[in-house]
Amino acid sequence: MDNFDIGRPLGKGKFGNVYLAREKSQKFVVALKVMFKVQIGKYNVSHQLKREIEIQYHLCHPNILRCFCYFHDESRIYMVLEFAEKGELFSHLRKHGRLSEEETAKYIGQVSDALAYCHDKNVWHRDIKPENILVDGLGNLKLADFGWSVHDKTKENRNTVCGTLDYLPPEMITSNTCSTTVDNWAVGVLMYECLVGKAPFEGNGQKETLDRIKRCRVVYPNPISEEAKALISKLITLDYLNRAPMVEVAIDPWVRTRAPSFKPVFAKTHPHH
Ligand code: ATP
Ligand code: MG
Protein backbone atom coordinates (compact mmCIF):
# COMPACT_ATOMS: atom_id res chain seq x y z
CA MET A 1 0.00 0.00 0.00
CA ASP A 2 2.97 2.31 0.58
CA ASN A 3 3.50 2.33 -3.19
CA PHE A 4 0.18 4.08 -3.85
CA ASP A 5 -1.39 7.49 -3.35
CA ILE A 6 -5.12 7.03 -2.79
CA GLY A 7 -7.65 9.34 -4.45
CA ARG A 8 -11.42 9.65 -4.66
CA PRO A 9 -13.78 6.68 -4.29
CA LEU A 10 -14.98 5.31 -7.65
CA GLY A 11 -17.67 2.98 -6.42
CA LYS A 12 -18.91 0.62 -3.80
CA GLY A 13 -18.53 -3.13 -4.15
CA LYS A 14 -20.03 -6.06 -2.30
CA PHE A 15 -17.09 -6.51 0.06
CA GLY A 16 -15.51 -3.06 0.11
CA ASN A 17 -14.74 -0.06 -2.04
CA VAL A 18 -12.97 0.93 -5.21
CA TYR A 19 -10.66 3.97 -5.19
CA LEU A 20 -8.76 5.93 -7.77
CA ALA A 21 -5.06 5.44 -6.97
CA ARG A 22 -1.63 6.29 -8.37
CA GLU A 23 1.49 4.22 -8.21
CA LYS A 24 4.08 6.60 -6.71
CA SER A 25 7.23 5.97 -8.75
CA GLN A 26 5.67 5.60 -12.25
CA LYS A 27 2.74 7.96 -11.57
CA PHE A 28 0.57 5.29 -13.17
CA VAL A 29 -3.14 5.78 -12.47
CA VAL A 30 -5.14 2.67 -11.50
CA ALA A 31 -8.35 1.65 -9.75
CA LEU A 32 -7.70 -0.02 -6.41
CA LYS A 33 -10.38 -2.45 -5.27
CA VAL A 34 -10.24 -3.06 -1.53
CA MET A 35 -12.19 -5.94 0.01
CA PHE A 36 -12.54 -6.82 3.67
CA LYS A 37 -11.68 -10.39 4.69
CA VAL A 38 -14.30 -10.36 7.46
CA GLN A 39 -17.01 -9.59 4.89
CA ILE A 40 -15.76 -12.28 2.51
CA GLY A 41 -15.63 -14.79 5.36
CA LYS A 42 -19.13 -13.89 6.49
CA TYR A 43 -20.59 -14.78 3.10
CA ASN A 44 -18.41 -17.86 2.72
CA VAL A 45 -17.16 -16.81 -0.72
CA SER A 46 -13.38 -16.84 -0.31
CA HIS A 47 -13.10 -19.77 -2.73
CA GLN A 48 -15.24 -18.05 -5.37
CA LEU A 49 -13.39 -14.77 -4.93
CA LYS A 50 -10.01 -16.44 -5.29
CA ARG A 51 -11.20 -17.98 -8.55
CA GLU A 52 -12.57 -14.63 -9.78
CA ILE A 53 -9.27 -12.89 -9.11
CA GLU A 54 -7.17 -15.63 -10.70
CA ILE A 55 -9.33 -15.75 -13.82
CA GLN A 56 -9.22 -11.99 -14.31
CA TYR A 57 -5.48 -11.86 -13.59
CA HIS A 58 -4.74 -14.33 -16.38
CA LEU A 59 -6.93 -12.74 -19.04
CA CYS A 60 -5.22 -10.31 -21.38
CA HIS A 61 -7.41 -8.62 -23.98
CA PRO A 62 -7.94 -4.91 -24.83
CA ASN A 63 -11.64 -5.15 -23.88
CA ILE A 64 -11.22 -7.02 -20.60
CA LEU A 65 -10.43 -4.94 -17.51
CA ARG A 66 -6.81 -5.75 -16.66
CA CYS A 67 -5.90 -6.83 -13.17
CA PHE A 68 -2.23 -5.78 -12.90
CA CYS A 69 -1.61 -7.41 -9.54
CA TYR A 70 -3.19 -8.32 -6.24
CA PHE A 71 -2.04 -8.60 -2.64
CA HIS A 72 -3.42 -8.80 0.87
CA ASP A 73 -2.72 -7.88 4.47
CA GLU A 74 -4.22 -8.99 7.80
CA SER A 75 -7.67 -7.62 7.11
CA ARG A 76 -7.97 -6.76 3.40
CA ILE A 77 -7.54 -8.06 -0.15
CA TYR A 78 -6.43 -5.55 -2.81
CA MET A 79 -6.82 -5.72 -6.59
CA VAL A 80 -4.86 -3.25 -8.72
CA LEU A 81 -7.12 -2.73 -11.73
CA GLU A 82 -6.99 -0.82 -14.98
CA PHE A 83 -8.85 2.49 -14.50
CA ALA A 84 -12.01 2.89 -16.61
CA GLU A 85 -12.46 6.65 -16.62
CA LYS A 86 -16.04 6.81 -17.96
CA GLY A 87 -17.49 4.31 -15.48
CA GLU A 88 -20.31 1.87 -16.11
CA LEU A 89 -21.95 1.33 -19.51
CA PHE A 90 -25.17 1.21 -17.47
CA SER A 91 -24.92 4.91 -16.49
CA HIS A 92 -23.91 5.88 -20.04
CA LEU A 93 -26.97 4.08 -21.39
CA ARG A 94 -29.36 5.59 -18.83
CA LYS A 95 -27.96 9.07 -19.50
CA HIS A 96 -28.45 8.83 -23.27
CA GLY A 97 -31.61 6.71 -23.27
CA ARG A 98 -30.54 4.67 -26.26
CA LEU A 99 -27.45 4.52 -28.43
CA SER A 100 -26.94 4.83 -32.19
CA GLU A 101 -26.35 1.76 -34.35
CA GLU A 102 -22.78 3.01 -34.92
CA GLU A 103 -21.92 3.22 -31.21
CA THR A 104 -23.75 -0.02 -30.40
CA ALA A 105 -21.93 -1.86 -33.20
CA LYS A 106 -18.55 -0.85 -31.78
CA TYR A 107 -19.55 -2.03 -28.30
CA ILE A 108 -21.05 -5.32 -29.50
CA GLY A 109 -17.94 -5.97 -31.60
CA GLN A 110 -15.68 -5.29 -28.61
CA VAL A 111 -17.70 -7.36 -26.14
CA SER A 112 -18.01 -10.26 -28.60
CA ASP A 113 -14.29 -10.29 -29.34
CA ALA A 114 -13.51 -10.26 -25.59
CA LEU A 115 -15.95 -13.13 -25.01
CA ALA A 116 -14.64 -15.09 -27.99
CA TYR A 117 -11.23 -14.88 -26.32
CA CYS A 118 -12.71 -16.03 -22.96
CA HIS A 119 -14.73 -18.89 -24.46
CA ASP A 120 -11.63 -20.13 -26.26
CA LYS A 121 -10.01 -20.43 -22.83
CA ASN A 122 -13.08 -22.21 -21.42
CA VAL A 123 -14.05 -19.17 -19.37
CA TRP A 124 -17.72 -18.14 -19.36
CA HIS A 125 -18.56 -14.77 -17.86
CA ARG A 126 -22.20 -15.63 -17.00
CA ASP A 127 -23.12 -12.15 -15.79
CA ILE A 128 -23.01 -9.96 -18.90
CA LYS A 129 -25.07 -6.80 -18.33
CA PRO A 130 -24.42 -3.03 -18.62
CA GLU A 131 -23.55 -2.79 -14.89
CA ASN A 132 -20.59 -5.12 -15.39
CA ILE A 133 -19.14 -3.39 -18.42
CA LEU A 134 -16.97 -0.30 -17.93
CA VAL A 135 -15.93 2.37 -20.43
CA ASP A 136 -12.40 3.82 -20.58
CA GLY A 137 -11.34 7.39 -21.39
CA LEU A 138 -11.25 6.64 -25.14
CA GLY A 139 -14.76 5.17 -25.19
CA ASN A 140 -13.65 1.54 -25.37
CA LEU A 141 -15.43 -1.18 -23.40
CA LYS A 142 -13.81 -3.12 -20.58
CA LEU A 143 -15.48 -6.29 -19.43
CA ALA A 144 -15.37 -6.48 -15.62
CA ASP A 145 -16.75 -8.45 -12.70
CA PHE A 146 -15.81 -12.08 -13.24
CA GLY A 147 -17.54 -13.02 -9.98
CA TRP A 148 -19.86 -15.59 -11.56
CA SER A 149 -17.51 -16.84 -14.22
CA VAL A 150 -16.75 -20.50 -14.58
CA HIS A 151 -13.54 -22.02 -15.77
CA ASP A 152 -14.40 -25.60 -16.50
CA LYS A 153 -13.34 -28.05 -19.16
CA THR A 154 -15.31 -31.07 -18.05
CA LYS A 155 -18.87 -30.00 -17.30
CA GLU A 156 -21.04 -28.65 -20.12
CA ASN A 157 -23.92 -27.67 -17.90
CA ARG A 158 -24.20 -26.85 -14.24
CA ASN A 159 -27.11 -26.26 -11.93
CA THR A 160 -26.44 -22.92 -10.35
CA VAL A 161 -28.28 -19.66 -10.42
CA CYS A 162 -26.41 -17.21 -12.60
CA GLY A 163 -27.16 -13.80 -14.04
CA THR A 164 -30.00 -11.45 -13.16
CA LEU A 165 -33.57 -11.66 -14.47
CA ASP A 166 -33.51 -9.37 -17.52
CA TYR A 167 -30.46 -11.17 -18.89
CA LEU A 168 -31.45 -14.70 -17.81
CA PRO A 169 -31.64 -17.22 -20.68
CA PRO A 170 -34.82 -19.36 -21.02
CA GLU A 171 -33.07 -22.69 -20.31
CA MET A 172 -32.19 -21.39 -16.83
CA ILE A 173 -35.90 -20.91 -16.17
CA THR A 174 -37.29 -24.07 -17.71
CA SER A 175 -34.62 -26.63 -16.83
CA ASN A 176 -32.34 -24.78 -14.42
CA THR A 177 -29.31 -25.51 -16.58
CA CYS A 178 -26.68 -22.97 -17.44
CA SER A 179 -25.58 -23.64 -21.01
CA THR A 180 -22.26 -22.57 -22.46
CA THR A 181 -24.17 -20.10 -24.64
CA VAL A 182 -25.50 -18.07 -21.69
CA ASP A 183 -23.13 -15.20 -22.67
CA ASN A 184 -24.28 -15.32 -26.32
CA TRP A 185 -27.91 -14.86 -25.23
CA ALA A 186 -26.87 -12.00 -22.93
CA VAL A 187 -24.99 -10.21 -25.74
CA GLY A 188 -28.22 -10.27 -27.74
CA VAL A 189 -30.09 -8.76 -24.78
CA LEU A 190 -27.33 -6.17 -24.39
CA MET A 191 -27.47 -5.22 -28.07
CA TYR A 192 -31.25 -4.81 -27.85
CA GLU A 193 -30.98 -2.73 -24.66
CA CYS A 194 -28.41 -0.40 -26.28
CA LEU A 195 -30.55 0.16 -29.41
CA VAL A 196 -33.96 0.35 -27.70
CA GLY A 197 -33.10 1.78 -24.29
CA LYS A 198 -34.63 -1.02 -22.28
CA ALA A 199 -34.21 -4.78 -21.96
CA PRO A 200 -36.35 -6.87 -24.37
CA PHE A 201 -38.27 -8.90 -21.80
CA GLU A 202 -38.79 -6.26 -19.12
CA GLY A 203 -42.20 -6.80 -17.54
CA ASN A 204 -44.28 -5.63 -14.62
CA GLY A 205 -42.71 -7.80 -11.97
CA GLN A 206 -40.56 -10.92 -12.02
CA LYS A 207 -43.22 -13.39 -13.15
CA GLU A 208 -44.04 -11.40 -16.27
CA THR A 209 -40.36 -11.03 -17.14
CA LEU A 210 -39.79 -14.78 -16.78
CA ASP A 211 -42.88 -15.54 -18.92
CA ARG A 212 -41.66 -13.18 -21.63
CA ILE A 213 -38.21 -14.75 -21.66
CA LYS A 214 -39.71 -18.22 -22.04
CA ARG A 215 -41.84 -17.06 -24.97
CA CYS A 216 -38.74 -15.41 -26.48
CA ARG A 217 -40.71 -12.92 -28.53
CA VAL A 218 -38.75 -9.78 -29.36
CA VAL A 219 -40.61 -6.65 -30.44
CA TYR A 220 -39.08 -3.35 -31.53
CA PRO A 221 -40.78 -0.11 -30.38
CA ASN A 222 -38.45 2.09 -32.44
CA PRO A 223 -37.07 1.68 -35.98
CA ILE A 224 -33.98 -0.50 -36.13
CA SER A 225 -32.17 -1.76 -39.24
CA GLU A 226 -32.99 -5.22 -40.60
CA GLU A 227 -29.32 -6.22 -40.27
CA ALA A 228 -29.35 -5.37 -36.56
CA LYS A 229 -32.56 -7.32 -36.00
CA ALA A 230 -31.09 -10.28 -37.86
CA LEU A 231 -28.04 -10.32 -35.59
CA ILE A 232 -30.15 -9.99 -32.42
CA SER A 233 -32.30 -12.93 -33.51
CA LYS A 234 -29.17 -15.09 -33.98
CA LEU A 235 -28.32 -14.47 -30.31
CA ILE A 236 -31.73 -14.28 -28.62
CA THR A 237 -32.59 -17.80 -29.71
CA LEU A 238 -34.57 -20.27 -27.62
CA ASP A 239 -32.46 -23.25 -28.72
CA TYR A 240 -29.22 -22.73 -26.82
CA LEU A 241 -27.29 -25.00 -29.18
CA ASN A 242 -28.13 -22.67 -32.04
CA ARG A 243 -26.89 -19.28 -30.81
CA ALA A 244 -24.26 -17.52 -32.92
CA PRO A 245 -20.70 -18.02 -31.61
CA MET A 246 -18.89 -14.89 -30.40
CA VAL A 247 -16.20 -15.10 -33.09
CA GLU A 248 -18.92 -14.80 -35.71
CA VAL A 249 -20.61 -11.83 -34.01
CA ALA A 250 -17.30 -9.96 -33.83
CA ILE A 251 -17.00 -10.12 -37.66
CA ASP A 252 -20.71 -9.82 -38.46
CA PRO A 253 -21.54 -7.60 -41.50
CA TRP A 254 -23.64 -5.27 -39.31
CA VAL A 255 -20.69 -4.75 -36.94
CA ARG A 256 -18.28 -4.26 -39.85
CA THR A 257 -20.41 -1.75 -41.75
CA ARG A 258 -21.63 0.28 -38.76
CA ALA A 259 -18.31 0.32 -36.93
CA PRO A 260 -15.68 0.20 -39.69
CA SER A 261 -12.91 1.41 -37.38
CA PHE A 262 -13.43 -1.49 -34.95
CA LYS A 263 -10.87 -4.23 -35.52
CA PRO A 264 -11.33 -7.54 -33.68
CA VAL A 265 -8.02 -8.73 -32.21
CA PHE A 266 -9.07 -12.27 -31.35
CA ALA A 267 -11.75 -13.19 -33.91
CA LYS A 268 -9.65 -12.19 -36.90
CA THR A 269 -6.94 -14.70 -36.00
CA HIS A 270 -9.30 -17.39 -34.70
CA PRO A 271 -12.02 -18.15 -37.25
CA HIS A 272 -14.84 -20.39 -36.09
CA HIS A 273 -14.63 -24.08 -36.98
P1 ATP B 1 -21.27 -5.31 -7.34
O2 ATP B 1 -21.60 -6.68 -6.95
O3 ATP B 1 -22.20 -4.28 -6.77
O4 ATP B 1 -21.09 -5.15 -8.82
P5 ATP B 1 -18.48 -5.59 -6.90
O6 ATP B 1 -18.00 -6.10 -5.60
O7 ATP B 1 -18.49 -6.49 -8.05
O8 ATP B 1 -19.88 -4.95 -6.67
P9 ATP B 1 -17.24 -3.74 -8.63
O10 ATP B 1 -18.41 -3.86 -9.55
O11 ATP B 1 -15.95 -4.29 -9.09
O12 ATP B 1 -17.62 -4.33 -7.22
O13 ATP B 1 -16.99 -2.20 -8.27
C14 ATP B 1 -18.02 -1.38 -7.77
C15 ATP B 1 -18.15 -0.11 -8.63
O16 ATP B 1 -16.95 0.65 -8.65
C17 ATP B 1 -18.42 -0.42 -10.10
O18 ATP B 1 -19.77 -0.65 -10.35
C19 ATP B 1 -17.87 0.83 -10.81
O20 ATP B 1 -18.83 1.88 -10.79
C21 ATP B 1 -16.70 1.22 -9.92
N22 ATP B 1 -15.47 0.64 -10.48
C23 ATP B 1 -14.98 -0.60 -10.24
N24 ATP B 1 -13.85 -0.84 -10.89
C25 ATP B 1 -13.58 0.27 -11.59
C26 ATP B 1 -12.52 0.65 -12.49
N27 ATP B 1 -11.54 -0.19 -12.80
N28 ATP B 1 -12.55 1.88 -13.03
C29 ATP B 1 -13.57 2.72 -12.73
N30 ATP B 1 -14.59 2.44 -11.90
C31 ATP B 1 -14.61 1.23 -11.33
MG1 MG C 1 -19.87 -5.03 -10.08
pLDDT by residue, tens only, the chain of 273 residues:
899 999 999 999 888 899 999 999 999 999 999 999 999 999 888 988 998 999 999 999 999 999 999 999 999 999 999 999 999 999 999 999 999 999 999 999 999 999 999 999 999 999 999 999 999 999 999 999 887 776 653 433 434 444 468 999 999 888 877 788 999 999 999 999 999 999 999 989 899 999 999 999 999 999 999 999 999 999 999 999 999 999 999 999 999 999 999 999 999 888 765
Residue intervals in the chain for CATH 1.10.510.10: 89-258
Beta strands in 39-120 (DSSP E): 67-72, 76-81, 87-88
Burial of residue 108 (CB within 10 Å: 0-12, 13-18, 19+) is buried
Is the CB–ligand 1 distance for residue 64 below 6 Å?
no
CA nearest ligand 1 atom 15, residue: 11
* 145 in contact with ligand 1, CB cutoff 6 A: yes
Distance CA 98, CA 109 (A): 17
Any ligand 1 atom below 6 A from CB of 11: yes
* Cβ atoms within 10 Å, residue 148: 20
Q: How far apart are CA 252 and CA 105, in angstroms?
A: 10
| CATH number among 1.10.10.10, 1.10.510.10, 3.30.2130.10, 3.20.20.70, domain 89-258 | 1.10.510.10
Supply the residue whose CA is at minimum distance from atom 16 of ligand 1.
11
Task: Please tell me if the CB atom of residue 17 comes closer than 6 angstroms to any atom of ligand 1.
Answer: no
CA atoms within 13 A on the CB side of 9: 6
Measured distance CA(212)–CA(209) in Å, rounded: 5
- Length of the chain equals 273
For ligand 1, atom 21, which residue shows the shortest CA distance? 11
Q: Residue 228: which residues within 8 A CB-CB, separation 6 or more?
A: 101, 104, 191, 195, 254
Q: Is 166 a catalytic residue?
A: no
Domain ranges in the chain with CATH number 3.30.200.20: 4-81
Using CA atoms, how far apart are residues 165 and 156, in angstroms rounded to an integer? 22
Give the ligand 1 atom nearest the CA of 12: 14
- Please give the model's pTM, rounded to 2 decimal places: 0.92
The per-residue pLDDT for 148 is 72
Q: Which residues contact 19 (CB under 8 A, 6 or more apart)?
A: 6, 7, 8, 9, 10, 31, 32, 34
Write down the CATH number for the domain with range 4-81.
Answer: 3.30.200.20
Q: What is the CA(72)–ligand 1 centre distance, in A?
A: 19
Question: If you measure from the C-alpha of residue 176 to the centroid of ligand 2, how many angstroms do you get, rounded to a whole number?
Answer: 24
Index of the ligand 1 atom closest to the CA of residue 91: 20
| CB 7 near ligand 1, within 6 Å | no
The pick from 12, 14, 15, 18 for probing ligand 1's pocket by mutation, whose C-beta has the most ligand atoms within 8 angstroms, reads 18
